[in-house]
Structure 1
């Protein structure tokens, strides 16, 4: 019977995650956990057992996209102009966050002390992935020293959340990101990407 329970638990996890992806795509980070449970055909306690916090659910839904962004940073590392590659990757992060409702909320700093079991792995993964791109750009003098990857992820989250309800959130987020980029550069190189 324990093997059957494990198989059932795995099936429930997969079904909950699939429904959660659809619900978060439709309703954003505030998608109802009770509705997810109802559509999945499980109790809300089952949803909470698999995803004890909303952040845990958002991170699970966002995991594939975060992994794709990590891979993209690795692909760009060492290529071309360091400023351009950093900005290209950050632009990809903005685009992913806009297209995947809930991803920005998964990256949001909420002021809660990290729980070792449910820490914000999405942010940590992105910060680690982009760090090499940022360090190279700072070393080359094309991004101001003192800028951190945490700063950049926070900036992106703010932009995406602020433009989420705009009639064209992708265009609005991209425009605001491009405006913000000029502030990242030393005065002599201040220009928007692209």
Structure 2
């Protein structure tokens, strides 16, 4: 990419981040172009779809989250790693209104620009879950798809103004249902540290 095109790309992304933070995933592509002081055609040349724009916006966050799962996998007890990662994912999900619904739709669509990032998040959560299950810290009757569904459900719920104030409580209920014995040992300590 030429230097001027890269500068334009980075400027559009910075403006898009602000607009999306303000208006959520339904932010107007025209509004983003207008605020970035570029034509809609220029915006669409860089980001042909809304999903492509979100992939660019979220890529750094999702890559960092996936890397964080790797770190937690080797540095924490299995239940603490799973709970910490779930909490960090929830913080990410709350940073962009509507992103969870978009990720849930992209999760099974290989043609989506968000598919690779969603697959990485799914894989990271499944690895942490399997590790916790191997240690008897997480219930054995669920898999990575179940965990991703619960993460998505919680992310959607706390995205709603009526449920947002109950985010911590809902988080504790869901993680309590995932862990095999949430009231004992390090599982309880992990949940306590998240509040």
Q: TM-score range by the shorter chain?
A: 0.7 to 0.9
Maintained 8 Å contact 1:24/1:102 = no
Match among 154, 169, 174 for residue 168 of structure 2: 174
Residue 152 (structure 1) shift: 2.2
Match among 23, 27, 31 for residue 27 of structure 1: 23
The residue number in structure 2 matching 1:124 is 119
Q: Following the alignment from structure 2 to structure 1, what is the Cα–Cα distance between the partners of residues 103 and 76? A: 28
Q: Following the alignment from structure 1 to structure 2, what is the Cα–Cα distance between the partners of residues 32 and 50? A: 16
Q: Once superposed, what is the RMSD of the aligned Cα atoms?
A: 2.5
The residue number in structure 1 matching 2:136 is 141
Q: Following the alignment from structure 2 to structure 1, what is the Cα–Cα distance between the partners of residues 72 and 169? A: 23
The residue number in structure 2 matching 1:161 is 156
Maintained 8 Å contact 1:25/1:101 = yes
Note closer, same or farther for the CA distance 1:111–1:97 as it changes in structure 2 (3 Å cut): closer
Match among 75, 88, 96 for residue 92 of structure 1: 88
TM-score calculated relative to the size of structure 2: 0.81
Q: Following the alignment from structure 1 to structure 2, what is the Cα–Cα distance between the partners of residues 173 and 121? A: 27
Q: Following the alignment from structure 2 to structure 1, what is the Cα–Cα distance between the partners of residues 98 and 49? A: 14
Q: Following the alignment from structure 1 to structure 2, what is the Cα–Cα distance between the partners of residues 139 and 168? A: 33
Residue 37 (structure 1) shift: 0.7
Unaligned runs of 5+ in 1: none
Maintained 8 Å contact 2:55/2:114 = no
Greater mean alpha carbon deviation, residues 142-151 or residues 28-37:
142-151
SS in 1 for 2:105: coil
Maintained 8 Å contact 1:94/1:160 = yes
Note closer, same or farther for the CA distance 1:172–1:99 as it changes in structure 2 (3 Å cut): farther
Deviating beyond 3 angstroms after TM superposition, the runs of 4 or more aligned structure 1 residues are 100-103, 110-113
Residue 174 (structure 1) shift: 2.6
Matched residue pairs, number? 186
Q: Following the alignment from structure 1 to structure 2, what is the Cα–Cα distance between the partners of residues 10 and 80? A: 39
Note closer, same or farther for the CA distance 1:146–1:109 as it changes in structure 2 (3 Å cut): farther
Q: Following the alignment from structure 2 to structure 1, what is the Cα–Cα distance between the partners of residues 179 and 107? A: 28
Residue 106 (structure 1) shift: 4.5
Q: Following the alignment from structure 2 to structure 1, what is the Cα–Cα distance between the partners of residues 66 and 109? A: 24
TM-score calculated relative to the size of structure 1: 0.82
Residue 70 (structure 1) shift: 1.6
